[in-house]
Amino acid sequence: MQILDGKKTSEDIKNEIAAEVQKMKANGEKVPHLAAVIVGNNGASLTYVGSKVRSCEQIGFDSTLVALPEETTEEQLLTKIKELNEDDNLDGYIVQLPLPKHIDEEKILLAIDPQKDVDGFHPTNFGRMALEMETFLPATPFGIMELLERYKVETSGKHTVVIGRSHIVGRPMSILMSRKGNPGDSTVTLTHSRTKNLEEYTKNADIIITALGVPEFLKADMVKDGVVIIDVGITRVEDASNSKGYVIKGDVDFDGVSKKSSFITPVPGGVGPMTIAMLLKNTLLARKIRSR
C-alpha cells in the first residue's frame, strides 16, 4: 500500500511555482496576482481564505484580500466583481463560498470574467473542461488528477466510481476521469444519494473517489483488493480528548480500507493540501495566458 502524500506533493508544487516566479522577476516580468473575496464571518471560510493569501506571499505572488461585511448586498458585491474584472493589474480571483443567504450565488459566479475565474466555477470554464479545452480546472479535482499523475497511478481502462455529485468535486471529477489522456481514459460511474445498492459499484471499482461528507462511511467489506482510494471527505467530529475539541475525519475507514488498497490518500494530509497548490497553479496559468 502506498500513501498518496498530498502534503509533500503540494509543497513540491509550491516550490516549483516559486522557482518560476523567481525567473519571471529576474526577467523583469510581472508576477501573478490573485485576489480573494470573502463576505461575512464564516470561521472555516476565513481560515481557508487566510491560507490562500498566505500561500501567495510564500511563493512570491501578489495578493489582495477583499473582506466585505455580512450585510453586503448582492448589488454591492456585483459592483466589486465588475471592478475586479476590469482591474488590469489582477490575473485571477476567487469569491469564497458559501455566500450569505441573501446573495444569489449563481448570479455572482456568472458575473466573474471566465478569464479570471481561477476556481473554474463559471459555466464557460466548466464547459471548456468537459470539451477538453485549455481552462482553469476546479482546484480539488485538479489536485486529485495531479496526485494520480505524480504517483503514476494507472487509470486507463480502469473502472472509477465517484461518490457524490457536487458541482465542485464529484461532477467535475467524473468528467476529468472520463476525458482522454493520462490520468483519465477511465470508465466512470457517478453515484450519489439516490443510488441503489452502492456496494455493487464500490465492490467492482478499481478506483474510488469519495466526496460525501459522512465520516468513515466506506468500509473494508465494500471494496476489492488492490483498490485505489481518493478520500475528499473532511468532517469535524467532536473529540474531547483532542485539544481542539474535534478531529478531522474522511469518508473512508482508513484502518480497514488501507489494508486492501494499492494507493490511498490520508485525511488530513491527502487531497486537502493540494487544493491551494492548484489554485496557485491556475493563477500562474492566468498570468501566462494574459501575457501571450
Q: Which residues are annotated as a binding site?
A: 164-166, 234
95 binds ligand GUN (CB under 6 A): yes
List, as one string, the DSSP characters of the chain.
-EE--HHHHHHHHHHHHHHHHHHHHHTTPPPPEEEEEEES--HHHHHHHHHHHHHHHHHT-EEEEEEE-TT--HHHHHHHHHHHHH-TT--EEEE-SSPPTTS-HHHHHHHS-GGGBTT--SHHHHHHHHTT-S----HHHHHHHHHHHHTT---TT-EEEEE---TTTHHHHHHHHHSSSSS---EEEEE-TT-SSHHHHHTT-SEEEE----TT-B-GGGS-TTEEEEE---EEEE-TTSTTSEEEE-SB-HHHHHTTEEEE--SSSSSHHHHHHHHHHHHHHHHHHHT-
Q: In the set 56, 94, 162, 190, which binds ligand GUN (CB under 6 A)?
A: 94
> Minimum Å distance from CB 109 to ligand GUN?
9
Note the residue count of the chain: 292
Q: Tell me if 226 sits within 8 A of 216, measured CB to CB.
A: no
Q: Is 265 in the site for ligand GUN (CB under 6 A)?
A: no
Task: Tell me the closest approach of the beta carbon of residue 52 to ligand GUN, in angstroms.
Answer: 9
Instruction: Examine residue 117 and tell whether it contacts ligand GUN (CB under 6 A).
Output: no
Binding window for ligand GUN (CB under 6 A); candidates: 69-77, 93-101, 143-151, 255-263: 93-101
Return the residues of window 34-53 that contact ligand GUN according to CB under 6 A: none
Taking the least distance from each CB to ligand GUN, the nearer of 17 and 36 is: 36
Among 5, 119, 146, 216, indicate the residue that binds ligand GUN (CB under 6 A).
119
Question: Residue 97, interface with ligand GUN (CB under 6 A)?
Answer: yes
Out of 139, 147, 252, 280, name the contact with ligand GUN by CB under 6 A: 139
| Shortest separation between residue 159's beta carbon and ligand GUN, angstroms | 27
User: Is residue 282 near ligand GUN by the rule CB under 6 A?
Assistant: no
Of the pair 65, 97, the CB lying nearest ligand GUN is at: 97
Q: Decide: is 78 part of the binding site for ligand GUN (CB under 6 A).
A: no
Q: In terms of CB distance, is 52 or 287 closer to ligand GUN? A: 52
CA dihedral 172, 273, 51, 22 (to 10 degrees): -100
Q: Show which residues are catalytic.
A: 52, 96, 119
Judged by beta carbon, residue 95 or residue 205, the one nearer ligand GUN is 95
Instruction: Considering only the stretches 67-75, 92-100, 235-243, 264-272, report the one whose residues sit in contact with ligand GUN under the rule CB under 6 A.
Output: 92-100
| Angle of helix 6-26 versus helix 139-150 axis, rounded to 10 | 100
Which residue's C-alpha cell is 468532517? 235
Q: Is 211 in the site for ligand GUN (CB under 6 A)?
A: no
Would you say 60 or 213 has its CB closer to ligand GUN?
213
Scanning 90-98, 186-194, 246-254, 280-288 for contacts with ligand GUN by CB under 6 A, the matching segment is 90-98
Least separation, in Å, of the C-beta of 139 and ligand GUN? Answer: 5
Binding stretches for ligand GUN (CB under 6 A): 94-97, 119, 139, 168, 275
